[in-house]
């Protein structure tokens, strides 16, 4: 009979995978960890979305990979392949954005090397129940230390367009009609303006708010120790309000975005409007549903344990754990987008590392008691 495992990760996407690589790097063996997921390829969900918006380069910078340590990252691979030090120089200054192809190759190689497939259990976990000595994962066993990484709870569509036969979500595969309306004004929308224009379409950008221009999806200072400490010093309600203000539409500055749009606007092929008008196709670059209540596993966890929440987020300790269900003997932690109250950029690869490293720290403290 297999020995019971102590550590579980629920959710086999990029956040769960990055945490897994961190645990393995920290000395845990594949037969000590169970990863529950719906697809054994950790990039499966991400690949489809990135391919749908024809993403070629990662938005994340030097830390945008799944290795447990931040450096050297993916720049070394590219420098060796292209026989140039340029990517290495760029990565030192945080200017390096790897290609999507390089990133996916890296995920495949790390999957192979890390023992991921030996730990992976093809199953959806429907309930996490607090029990003596850990957490019962409804039919899948009891684990002492559990990291929840369920990802986004689904795609968001504007309710008024939900029944409109012309819509396609930007994160679902699609081509472009001659006259396209793109709803939204964030990174996915900007990518879709440029894609549709490159395909020869005319574009109406339908937006409620003007986008901010910044390289990352949250202000850079919250990636720093000091910025994060200031965030953690605030009350949960204040943290929630800050997050709401940061998570408005934004996309990076730069000529690659501006030039095609300015040229198309000059030629009458791009304009901003309040309504979708008579477009043949409506591309909804409207992101994901927001809030734990849209995820059945998290909604049940909150309801059954009376967990504190703020505006759709579970209130977490700075180390991404659920305070009411974590002590020296057991851990319940959250990674990925539902972990934003601990780390505002939780829904990035850097955020996945943040949660994974703190989970590993708890495991280490427990082991050496």
CB of 180 to ligand FAD, least distance (A): 18
Query: Would you say 45 or 363 has its CB closer to ligand FAD?
Result: 45
Interaction of residue 349 with ligand FAD, rule CB under 6 A: yes
CB of 147 to ligand FAD, least distance (A): 11
Query: Would you say 195 or 202 has its CB closer to ligand FAD?
Result: 195
CB of 256 to ligand FAD, least distance (A): 15
Burial class (CB within 10 angstroms; exposed 0-12, middle 13-18, buried 19+) of 323: middle
8, 15, 180, 333: which one binds ligand FAD (CB under 6 A): 15
Residues 297-336 that bind ligand FAD (CB under 6 A): 297, 336
Alpha-carbon torsion 320, 326, 328, 329, what sign? negative
| 3-state DSSP of the chain | CCCCCCEEEECCCHHHHHHHHHHHHCCCCHHHEEEEECCCCCCHHHHHHHHHCCCCECCCCCCCCCCCCCCCCCHHHHHHHHCCCHHHHHHHCCCCCCEHHHHHHHHHHHHHHHCHHHHEEECCCCCCEEECCEEECCCCCEECEEEECCCCCCECCCHHHCCCCCEEECCCCCCCCCEEEEECCCHHHHHHHHHHHHCCCEEEEECCCCCEECCCCCCHHHHCHHHHHHHHCCCHHHHHHHHHHHCCCEECCCHHHHHHHHHHHHCCCEEEECCCCCCCEEEECCCECCCHHHCHHHHHHHHHHCCCEECCEECCCCCCECHHHCECCEEEEECCHHHCCCCCCCCCHHHHHHHHHHHHHHHHHHHCC
13, 134, 184, 240: which one binds ligand FAD (CB under 6 A): 13
Measure the CA–CA gap between 122 and 151, rounded to whole angstroms: 16
Interaction of residue 151 with ligand FAD, rule CB under 6 A: yes
Query: Would you say 202 or 322 has its CB closer to ligand FAD?
Result: 322
Interaction of residue 243 with ligand FAD, rule CB under 6 A: no
Pick the piece of the chain touching ligand FAD (CB under 6 A) from 82-90, 146-154, 239-247, 312-320.
146-154
Burial class (CB within 10 angstroms; exposed 0-12, middle 13-18, buried 19+) of 337: buried
Interaction of residue 16 with ligand FAD, rule CB under 6 A: yes
8, 33, 34, 53: which one binds ligand FAD (CB under 6 A): 53
Closest residue to bound ligand FAD by CB: 13
Residues 152-211 that bind ligand FAD (CB under 6 A): 152, 171
7, 33, 64, 134: which one binds ligand FAD (CB under 6 A): 64
Interaction of residue 35 with ligand FAD, rule CB under 6 A: no
Interaction of residue 347 with ligand FAD, rule CB under 6 A: yes
Query: Would you say 52 or 202 has its CB closer to ligand FAD?
Result: 52
Interaction of residue 59 with ligand FAD, rule CB under 6 A: yes
25, 124, 179, 232: which one binds ligand FAD (CB under 6 A): 124
Query: Would you say 103 or 231 has its CB closer to ligand FAD?
Result: 103
CB of 187 to ligand FAD, least distance (A): 8
Identify the residue whose tokens are 């393995």: 24
12, 87, 249, 344: which one binds ligand FAD (CB under 6 A): 12
> For binding to ligand FAD (CB under 6 A), which residues are involved?
10-16, 36-39, 45-46, 49-50, 53, 55, 58-60, 64, 124-125, 149-152, 171, 297, 336-337, 347-349
């Amino acid at each position: 009979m297999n020995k019971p495992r102590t550590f579980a990760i629920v959710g086999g996407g990029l956040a769960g995978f990055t945490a897994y690589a961190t645990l393995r790097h920290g000395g845990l063996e594949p037969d000590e960890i169970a990863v529950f997921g719906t697809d054994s390829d950790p990039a499966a969900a991400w690949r489809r979305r990135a391919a749908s918006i024809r993403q070629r380069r990662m938005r994340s910078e030097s830390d945008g990979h799944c290795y447990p340590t931040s450096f050297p990252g993916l720049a070394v691979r590219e420098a060796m392949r292209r026989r140039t030090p340029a990517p290495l120089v760029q990565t030192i200054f945080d200017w390096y954005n790897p290609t999507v192809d390089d990133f996916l190759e890296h995920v495949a190689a790390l999957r192979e090397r890390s023992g991921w497939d030996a730990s992976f259990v093809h199953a959806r976990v429907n309930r996490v129940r607090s029990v003596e000595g850990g957490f019962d994962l409804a039919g899948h066993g009891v684990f002492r230390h559990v990291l929840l990484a369920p990802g986004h709870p689904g795609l968001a569509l504007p309710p008024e367009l939900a029944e409109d036969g012309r819509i396609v979500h930007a994160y679902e595969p699609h081509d472009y009609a001659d006259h396209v309306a793109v709803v939204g004004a964030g990174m996915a929308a900007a990518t879709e303006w440029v894609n549709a224009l490159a395909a020869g379409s005319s574009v109406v950008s339908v937006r409620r708010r003007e986008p901010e221009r910044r390289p990352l999806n949250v202000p850079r200072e919250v990636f720093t120790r000091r910025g994060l400490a200031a965030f953690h010093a605030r009350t949960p309600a204040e943290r929630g309000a800050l997050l709401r203000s940061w998570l408005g539409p934004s996309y990076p500055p730069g000529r690659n975005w501006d030039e095609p749009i300015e040229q198309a606007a000059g030629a009458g092929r791009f304009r901003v409007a309040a309504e979708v008008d008579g477009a043949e196709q409506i591309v909804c670059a409207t992101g994901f549903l927001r809030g734990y209540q849209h995820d059945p596993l998290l909604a049940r966890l909150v309801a059954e344990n009376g967990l504190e929440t703020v505006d759709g987020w579970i209130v977490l300790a700075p180390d991404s754990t659920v305070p009411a269900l974590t002590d020296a003997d057991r851990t319940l932690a959250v990674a990925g987008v539902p972990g934003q109250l601990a780390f505002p950029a939780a829904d990035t690869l850097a955020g996945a590392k943040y949660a994974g490293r703190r989970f590993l720290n708890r495991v280490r403290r427990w082991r050496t008691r």
